Amino acid sequence: MDKIRFLGRITNEAIEKEFGKIQTNEIIVTNEREEHIKIRHPEDYELFNKYGAETVHNPDTIIRDGKNKGTIFMIKKLPETNLNVVVRIALETDEKGLKNSVMTFYRIRERNLRKMIKKNSILLGKDSVLYKKE
């Protein structure tokens, strides 16, 4: 069984407003997902260790993933780049005992972030005026 590490908590009511009741507010990352980040996004792994918890604790933007059920993008803006923690939310309708889990983590360019916002719904946005859908 994968070892898990507590990463943070979802504290935003917008999540339940969008998805309905969730099983827990805890966000975890398994060692299998950390290995995925190391292998698939090796240049981002150090950033994940440094900013992953801060990104889920205090995201600048939360975007609903329109393609994958119960999944959100938690975005943190840094001076040089943006960080994206992809989290699968443990919905009340899912198997009992699940936790909100990090699926992956990577840097995202501003241009790609804008495309992501156009294609999906913003649940929380400190800069939401900048990203308003037209």
Which pLDDT score is estimated for 12?
A: 66
Beta bridge partners of 63: 73, 122
Give the residue with greater pLDDT, 61 vs 14: 61
Centre a 10 Å sphere on the Cβ of residue 50 and count the other Cβ atoms it contains. Answer: 12
Summary count for the chain: helices (H), strands (E)? 4, 7
State both tokens at 125.
């946005």
pLDDT of residue 133: 40
E strand intervals along 10-99: 26-30, 61-64, 71-77, 82-88
Report which residue type is found at 51.
Answer: Y
Does residue 130 have a pLDDT over 70?
no
Tens-digit pLDDT profile for residues 5-47: 999 999 768 899 999 999 999 999 999 999 999 999 999 999 9
Q: What is the pLDDT of residues 85-104, one digit of tens each?
A: 999 999 999 999 999 999 99
